[in-house]
Structure 1
Amino acid sequence: MITKILQYYRGFVRARIVSHSPERFLNLCRNHQIILQDLVYRDGYYECQMDLKDFQRIRPIAHKSHTRLFILKKCGFPFFLYRNRHRKVTYISCALFVIVLYVMSLFIWDIQFEGNQKYTDDVLMTFLHSQGYVQGMKVHNVVCEDLEKAIRNEYEDINWVSARIDGTRLVVKIKENTGILEIEEKNYEEGDLIADKDGVVVSVITRKGTPMVHKGDTVSVGDVLVAGTLEILDDSGGVMAQHRVQADADIILERTYEYNDYIPATYIERNYIKERKHYFIQFFDYRFQIFPVEKKENTEIITTKNQCHLFSNFYIPVYYGSCQERIYEETEKSYTETEAKQLCERNLQYYFKNLKKLGVEIIQNNVTIKWDVNGCTANGTIVVHEKAGKLSQEQQVEETMKANEYH
């Protein structure tokens, strides 16, 4: 494939060799290192293919061997230029096209997000615009490290961000916290385990440190659950020494959540009565559309826009798409008591599902669902068991030795 491309670029001819002594002509070509390709014999003469530069060198050899050459076919880029030498507009257009492509390659024309689930593309795009990262900005103004830091500082539940420039695209990959938040524990040499939520202690399993609370105790945020202190006792039971360590324990608290939900008795239902679809082409921010679509009352407009690209990573500011106009009528309807209670129950189960994703064990459900003429109300409390405790880093202290005095 590459050989054919190079051959087309250099140019080649298909020629007929008419000679009384073709062997002499072929030997002279060989001595002068002129390559004859696809050489065939037919009806008393030879046909071959040769590069343009070799054909330009072959005239003295043909004259010496009394050989006549007839050109059957001319192919290649040099002949193309010669045939179109008077088409200056074509060459100028090609040159302008190359210049435009080069200029466009200096800008970012598309911003894409990958891995986002909680935060939509529109939310992230709005934040990037507030930071000055917009479509049409120069490539050399994009600082990927600063963009990554800005996203991590703005959204606490985004663990990892990677931004890179791919052609004329800015690709931002993120990883969000899903389910239980896994926090990398720092390897502190010492520290207490403190409460990060209020509740009643259900169980304490201590692996390292001194427990400060027991089953049935009520704790508040900031209370020390397990002290990062190990006491060394002597034979008489007195404290001989204390060492500071990193506290480690599994502590379960019983907590109570308030739950409130309301489903109104009436709701609005949309009935679509007419749909129309219009197509458009957009260059930068200028849209060309035969039938413009305007936002009207009781009208829903769904726009689908696609961006053109020359290669997989070379996007250009040219868009095409459609606007779907949907006209609807609003009708007020009412829930039955059964339907409203089912909706409340569905919302409650969804709330339970999210709690279980966070590792919470539901012990008691005290939520009651009531119906009246205005709607359905779900109120009550939910008793749960969940893990508690976080490490509290303290300034390192020197080990203190407390010796008992014997009298």
Structure 2
Amino acid sequence: MIRSFVRWLRGYVRLCVAGYSPERFLNMCCFHQLFIWGLEPTGKGYGMYMSISDFRKLKPLVRKTHTKVTLEGRYGFPFFLARYRKRKLFFAGLFLCAVLLRGYSLFIWDIHFEGNVRYPDTTLAEFLESEGVAPAMLRSRVDCPGIVKAIRKEYNDIVWVSASIDGSRLKIQVKENEDTFPEEETSAGEEKPVDLIASADGVITEIVTRSGVPQVHVGDAVKKGDILVLGRVEVVNDSQEVIGYQYHSSDADVFADTQIEYTDTLDLTYQEKVYDGKKKYQPFLRLADWTVSVGSIRNKYEHSERVTEETQIRLGENFYLPFSYGMRSVKSYSLVKRKYTEEEARQLLSLDFKRFCEDLEEKGVQIRGNDVKIHLYENSATASGTLFLNERITEESDTEILTVERKETDESVGTDD
């Protein structure tokens, strides 16, 4: 690749050598260290490529070998300049383009976020803008360590942040904390006392306690709100009397068999969009906050659908420019009243139920069975029934703080003396 570019920069030609002995001509080129490439036989001789400087040395060799050299093509930058030497505006435009590209490379034109789930791109972009970080800012003013510190300080549940500059793009990578920890503490170095209570009715199937006092066992039936793990530990003396309490933040995994009712109703009549082929387009070009468009998409359609497609111009993968282009379009449609068939209604309700089950499984809920059935009526269809689940049913609740009344003994002794 580099060698080809150097050849193009210096310029080269394509030759066709014919005559009494072209092989002798090739030997003479080798003896005089004239470099040729792309050698191939032709009908009357050989075709080859040669640099401009070596081509100028061929006249004595041609005379000595009694061959005929025909120039078939000129390639490279010197010939490009010679071909367009009178087009001064063209070269001025090339120079101006290079200057503009150099100027644009000094700015940040795009901010890209990766790894964020809880916080959308718009939220993080608005925060960075409040910190003075936004598109069209100078690259030299971008403080990547400062951006990392600001995001970590503002969002406590973001545990890792990376900021880097790739071309004209500022790349922000974050890692969010997937666990939930209590943020409040009763005092410095002291954890908040917390009980774990049941979030639903069920039968306990598994309990693993890491902190706190379990109040239930496997096989116990619990109601919503019952205490599963107590964050208060009794302190007793030698006589097994309660003399105080120690408080902890309960931590345990408690699973139970539960059940929930599922209901989904579908109207059999609906309105379908029927496009009539009427469309209007409006191409546009955007430069920062300025937009230039051609035509208009104003319409008097009763029902219409608007679509905007926009592409930002970039060179390579990460060199973004402050230009974007796109197309706005409007499509007209009419609404036609339709009615689902029994088979279509069953398929739609079954698909919704499948998605509902997939959402539960993504949350770690195990579905052990269901008796959901589909019922069809004159104007509607309903899927209803019970799902039998096995899930984690713990939720936090503040521990009740108790005080122990101390009994003071009377140490005085009375006598009759």
Q: TM-score, normalised by structure 2?
A: 0.57
Q: Equivalences for 1:326-345 in 2 at 5 Å?
A: 326-345=331-350
**Equivalent residue number for residue 390 of structure 2:** 385
User: SS of 1:312's equivalent?
Assistant: coil
Distance 2:398 2:279 in 1: 63
Distance 1:148 1:386 in 2: 35
Any unmatched runs of 5+ in structure 2? 12-52, 63-75, 184-188, 400-417
Q: Does 1:125 align with 2:122?
A: yes
Q: Which amino acid in the other structure matches residue 194 of structure 1?
A: L
**Equivalent residue number for residue 104 of structure 1:** 104
User: SS of 2:352's equivalent?
Assistant: helix
User: SS of 2:221's equivalent?
Assistant: coil
Contact 2:198 2:224 in 1 (8 A): no
Distance 1:368 1:318 in 2: 55
User: SS of 1:274's equivalent?
Assistant: strand
Q: Does 1:43 align with 2:60?
A: yes
User: SS of 2:361's equivalent?
Assistant: helix
Distance 2:272 2:160 in 1: 41
User: SS of 1:195's equivalent?
Assistant: strand
User: SS of 2:392's equivalent?
Assistant: strand
User: SS of 2:356's equivalent?
Assistant: helix
**Equivalent residue number for residue 362 of structure 2:** 357
Distance 1:365 1:377 in 2: 15
**Equivalent residue number for residue 166 of structure 2:** 166
Any unmatched runs of 5+ in structure 1? 13-36, 46-74, 395-407
User: SS of 2:199's equivalent?
Assistant: coil
Distance 2:335 2:122 in 1: 33
Provide closer, same or farther for how the CA distance between residues 353 and 4 of structure 1 changes in structure 2, counting only shifts above 3 A: closer
Contact 2:195 2:398 in 1 (8 A): no
Q: 2:262 aligns with which of 256, 259, 275?
A: 259
How many aligned positions are there? 330
Q: Which amino acid in the other structure matches residue 253 of structure 1?
A: A
Contact 2:194 2:398 in 1 (8 A): yes
Provide closer, same or farther for how the CA distance between residues 391 and 164 of structure 1 changes in structure 2, counting only shifts above 3 A: farther
Q: 1:144 aligns with which of 147, 159, 162?
A: 147
Distance 1:246 1:363 in 2: 32
Provide closer, same or farther for how the CA distance between residues 131 and 229 of structure 1 changes in structure 2, counting only shifts above 3 A: same
Distance 2:382 2:176 in 1: 34
Provide closer, same or farther for how the CA distance between residues 149 and 269 of structure 1 changes in structure 2, counting only shifts above 3 A: farther
Distance 1:342 1:8 in 2: 64
Provide closer, same or farther for how the CA distance between residues 207 and 313 of structure 1 changes in structure 2, counting only shifts above 3 A: closer
Q: Which amino acid in the other structure matches residue 294 of structure 1?
A: R
User: SS of 1:349's equivalent?
Assistant: helix
Distance 2:320 2:332 in 1: 34
Distance 2:387 2:4 in 1: 76
**Equivalent residue number for residue 317 of structure 1:** 322
Provide closer, same or farther for how the CA distance between residues 252 and 224 of structure 1 changes in structure 2, counting only shifts above 3 A: closer
Q: 1:306 aligns with which of 307, 311, 322?
A: 311
Q: CA deviation at 1:269?
A: 0.7
Q: Which amino acid in the other structure matches residue 201 of structure 2?
A: G
Q: CA deviation at 1:282?
A: 0.8
Contact 1:147 1:163 in 2 (8 A): no
User: SS of 1:43's equivalent?
Assistant: helix
Provide closer, same or farther for how the CA distance between residues 369 and 43 of structure 1 changes in structure 2, counting only shifts above 3 A: closer
Distance 1:371 1:290 in 2: 52
Q: Equivalences for 1:148-227 in 2 at 5 Å?
A: 148-149=151-152, 152=155, 162-174=162-174, 194-195=196-197, 197-206=199-208, 210-214=213-217, 215-218=220-223, 220=225, 223=227, 225=229
User: SS of 1:165's equivalent?
Assistant: strand
Distance 1:269 1:383 in 2: 37
Distance 2:61 2:349 in 1: 97
Contact 1:280 1:287 in 2 (8 A): no
**Equivalent residue number for residue 15 of structure 2:** none
Q: CA deviation at 1:328?
A: 1.9
Contact 2:8 2:77 in 1 (8 A): yes
Deviations 1:28-58 (A, max 9, x none): xxxxxxxxx969686399xxxxxxxxxxxxx
Provide closer, same or farther for how the CA distance between residues 102 and 44 of structure 1 changes in structure 2, counting only shifts above 3 A: closer
**Equivalent residue number for residue 298 of structure 2:** 294
Distance 1:171 1:220 in 2: 46
Provide closer, same or farther for how the CA distance between residues 364 and 384 of structure 1 changes in structure 2, counting only shifts above 3 A: same
Percent of matched pairs sharing the same residue: 28
Distance 1:8 1:382 in 2: 73
Q: TM-score, normalised by structure 1?
A: 0.58
